[in-house]
Structure 1
């Protein structure tokens, strides 16, 4: 992360044997952590600049290089830094420091490393102390810190980056209470995980459990408010905390955000926002430092839901399939209902030959009685035209054609081909369905290659068109344009569109409604989810944009799917940064503007059900929604793919 320029730290390489390249998602995740801790450090140093002595106490410091970075920049005037970790960790760190002259020169005069039996001090300079002691030995910790000169009366910053949560609650609470009791003026900064119970949190917990590093604090202190009350109960006078989405939006300058966002090609927005919503930065304070570090969410960041009705619970049984086909475990794919009880699935990222990768194949799901059968389609000699693509669109037309447009193989490589798929249904049995694929050469001014867009069939003056809206490209992070493709001669047409233009967006939803298109949600130009709804309404001369005003608010989201049921819009799943939770189903009455939330009951699903990067198909007769795939790369916790399709039993809609 540092080597690519996300964060400046010329000393970190001194503690790393061999740098390893990580995914852009991981680099961004560690960048926002570094920025949050650095912000906290600088607030403390600025607020206490007039004091003759100050202290930084880093608990579980590991191989952090903050002392050397701050010292080299001249920012540790009248500051002594104490670092504490397990004896074997600090012994290794001390050896690395002693062997690098630039480290020794910054520390100055260094005492000899003492064997463990002669005390817990492994390295000591005038303003740097490295101590080897287990934090559960709180009495011993206090004794050693006092022996090495820690002054409880001077302003102190206590720092804990993902440390306390690995301790049992009674031990970590003892540390929090000790710090509140011991220091007269202090600020305690904590960075660690929250929200263990949603699907991403379950994957996160499972990852740490497999590493034998249980996140103990998550059980009793799962969220921001529980963490805040914990510190207040342990003796701190004030406590504020925000998650990393709130920090990124509210505390990093716009120019710096733009710089960060251009460092590497990036397209994992869902996992980035989910990762940030599962980590917090907390500041507890007391004494003269009570107002030192006030972490408040950005203005208008949190959305208050105005729905006065208690959310209904919707049952979600597993879709009964003949076999658990690994081809159904994918995300960033497309699904379309091409005939009654026949679903076509294309592209995405998923299981491929026992490994994960981009997919080029198409699969079928065919319902036979209560059971869905899934398989690959029979090749009519043209399937080689299908390419690996993610975040494309696949639009089933009323004449049994399916149009695949856009998508990408990587954030630098959009797919430019437009394909027309046609299925020969045979006798309707899965084995008899065959697929022909034709690459279409379009005439006219072609739109910029894109992905994360929508493509919807509309009718203008009796002629059918494919309406392409929004998305992103390798050059533009968010697109605001739209295009019409004539579905008879495959020419790009210029049709007049008036009215208030929707905000730039990608990863939104689009549904056919009243001869036009209904656009909902999406990720906007500032990479913040949107809650706006626009109707592209047909007129005698072309189309006009109408904004649908919601009387009761709904939580902004993107990477959701949507369906029209009568005059109601159903939003399924998605990702938000505006709330601690997002109800899985929201119904919006397009006539009255009222919106109502519904929870889904996943008791029958024995694995985390992620409702982003999924696809869904409305089964009108059964009054169900078939949800296929979904999931993503969950930061450094591994890739999660929903195991099999599920059926969403719709509530009674009048």
Structure 2
């Protein structure tokens, strides 16, 4: 890489600091953290989305936890030696000012290092801001011509250096009277990953050799190979600040080994899902979760699973148990080794028709070879919006895709998402629930009628949307399930769970009589299951199978329940699965050849990616199947998608899916994909013999 390329790359990395600083300022403004200084250190303001706030909140709390553990250990005793915090790539962070205001720097000092331009700009901001100068006290400015020191006060120094020049860093710290023998916290928030792996390795090894009593804390990205990780990497590539070293150190185990091999004597690391669950009190989690309306749980958990916090130590005064000590347990649940593979392939089409690019939509099989999808958030005419047009996928010899926008005489689609659709006939569909925004439920029950033109061509389909009645507050929910069940030879729709504006998780259920479109009461015995949303539901033996979902504490569930028909109504029955399934949500499910198939979803207790879990409904035995994506465009995200079982073809059709991937942009699966279930069918037939 030439000098100009290195300069452009450095500029791109510096820009990530500006974006991060604005996010931290927005975080404080919305009450997630207490930080009166973030807005003083960065020009301009920005209102970030709730998902960004949550991501930066857990980052701030993880770093805060480690800093406090260090200061509590090193500064507790009156005769303890003075401690130091060396913040590498500090940017516009306000750590010094927050610690100073909290009285945590009576026996400690903060040193910050960043690119010379960033360091000089921050030093000037501090000097020009009375509120900041009042905390630093009298200060001096170094001579940029012959010194890296840009700002110096009694307990605060800012140095302008390139972290790739470790020898220069050592010399500059020595010249500025840095005490390498003192207890030191080295802090690097999303820094090392922007360095080429060899430069990062030199820095880690230098720190291990230079500091006899130190704690090295890093916060970075990981898991680059799955779908979310691919979108994450592509985002930073587009910013000209690619993430380095993730292929060498893709998970927490590899990161720990990296530091131990470099000379650190102990190392602990965990992803942010584990930190959030084990190191934040339940009341604090609840406070944060109630700050803003929120409905992007998949992306929140995926973001947390792709970032980690690590603490490596040297010296006897920093045992790891003092940094990460918790009474909570975050059980890792690794799925069983794969029992087989389902090959994935693109849906072949006889035309270049429009594909369904959306998530949070619903799909229904009207009749063999005809699938209707509605709603969700997606891409229409080159823009991202709530989807208003209907998508029809039909097949005679090959699949053909159409968007239908020539409305009939009824009302137009209201833009809802996270609703359910149920087939009433070849041409009629019932739509229940959904939301227009995280605080606006879709209260009307809709019927969709499809009618063909006189020449019977799909190109001239007409769609009519009608209300079945006035607004119905019985179903002011979304992320629920609707399942066809039977009672006294009558057809009912069992509507279960979901979310509402009032309750983050619902545990109630309702029965809708299909013939009269009226809500009825049917007795249900047995212990009511835990409330949930984003679960799956399938019709089976006249009842309903409910699997997984997200519970009240925003933790995925692993239960599989059967709403079993009995003489007096229904009975809740728990199905024992061996081995137990990994907790998950935002998946889809189907019953095929006596097996319950759980397709995709999101889980937080495993480092792998959900494929398809197959549960034998006779024996309760579960097995895992991988999805072979060799022949489909990558990445393929299997959450917020819909799926249709095609039993005659022994295929599963996956439609849409994706989400708003933290600050990395919105991703939609670009094409419909089929999974070949023949191996499962063949295996089942073999078992029957």
Q: Same fold (TM over 0.5)?
A: yes
Contact 1:242 1:295 in 2 (8 A): no
Deviates further, 358-367 or 162-171 = 358-367
Which of the residues 312, 319, 344 maps onto 1:291?
319
- Alignment of 1:130 onto 2:151: no
Map of 1:15 onto structure 2: 41
Which of the residues 568, 584, 594 maps onto 1:567?
594
- Distance in 2, matches of 1:281 and 1:311, equals 33
- Distance in 1, matches of 2:255 and 2:44, equals 36
Aligned pairs for 1:401-550 within 5 A: 401-424=428-451, 429-441=457-469, 446-550=473-577
- Distance in 2, matches of 1:461 and 1:588, equals 29
- Distance in 2, matches of 1:254 and 1:438, equals 45
- Distance in 2, matches of 1:160 and 1:428, equals 65
Query: TM (normalized to structure 1)?
Result: 0.96
- Distance in 2, matches of 1:464 and 1:489, equals 10
Map of 2:130 onto structure 1: 101
- Distance in 1, matches of 2:290 and 2:399, equals 47
Which of the residues 103, 106, 109 maps onto 1:80?
109
SS at 1:593 equivalent: coil
Which deviations, in whole Å up to 9, do the C-alpha atoms of 1:514-563 show, x marking residues without a partner?
00100000001110001100000111111011101102122111000000
Map of 2:83 onto structure 1: 54
- Distance in 2, matches of 1:64 and 1:198, equals 31
- Distance in 1, matches of 2:359 and 2:401, equals 20
Which deviations, in whole Å up to 9, do the C-alpha atoms of 1:117-150 show, x marking residues without a partner?
2211111011111101111111111111122122
- Distance in 2, matches of 1:194 and 1:570, equals 29
Contact 1:247 1:297 in 2 (8 A): no
- Distance in 2, matches of 1:600 and 1:150, equals 54
SS at 1:217 equivalent: coil
- Distance in 2, matches of 1:26 and 1:450, equals 25
- Distance in 2, matches of 1:544 and 1:89, equals 65
Map of 1:27 onto structure 2: 53
Report the CA distance between 1:336 and its aligned residue: 0.3
- Distance in 2, matches of 1:558 and 1:41, equals 34
SS at 1:273 equivalent: helix
- Alignment of 1:3 onto 2:29: yes
Query: TM (normalized to structure 2)?
Result: 0.92
Map of 1:584 onto structure 2: 611
Contact 1:303 1:555 in 2 (8 A): no
Contact 1:607 1:643 in 2 (8 A): no
Aligned pairs for 1:127-526 within 5 A: 127-292=155-320, 293-295=322-324, 300-305=329-334, 307=336, 310-326=338-354, 328-376=356-404, 378-382=406-410, 384-397=411-424, 401-424=428-451, 429-441=457-469, 446-526=473-553
Which deviations, in whole Å up to 9, do the C-alpha atoms of 1:194-223 show, x marking residues without a partner?
000000000000000111111112121111
Contact 1:324 1:644 in 2 (8 A): no
- Distance in 1, matches of 2:326 and 2:645, equals 38
- Distance in 2, matches of 1:130 and 1:37, equals 20
Contact 1:555 1:582 in 2 (8 A): no
Deviates further, 50-59 or 511-520 = 50-59
- Distance in 2, matches of 1:190 and 1:521, equals 34
- Distance in 2, matches of 1:588 and 1:425, equals 40
Contact 1:302 1:579 in 2 (8 A): no
- Distance in 1, matches of 2:332 and 2:135, equals 48
- Alignment of 1:598 onto 2:629: no
Which deviations, in whole Å up to 9, do the C-alpha atoms of 1:415-465 show, x marking residues without a partner?
00001223336776422543333211279x952500000011111112111
- Distance in 1, matches of 2:565 and 2:220, equals 51
| Distance change >3 Å, CA 212–CA 519, structure 1 → 2 | same
- Distance in 2, matches of 1:537 and 1:452, equals 22
Map of 1:635 onto structure 2: 662
Map of 2:14 onto structure 1: none
Name structure 1 gaps, 5 residues minimum: none
- Alignment of 1:619 onto 2:619: no
- Distance in 1, matches of 2:59 and 2:531, equals 29
Report the CA distance between 1:44 and its aligned residue: 0.6
Deviates further, 326-335 or 339-348 = 326-335
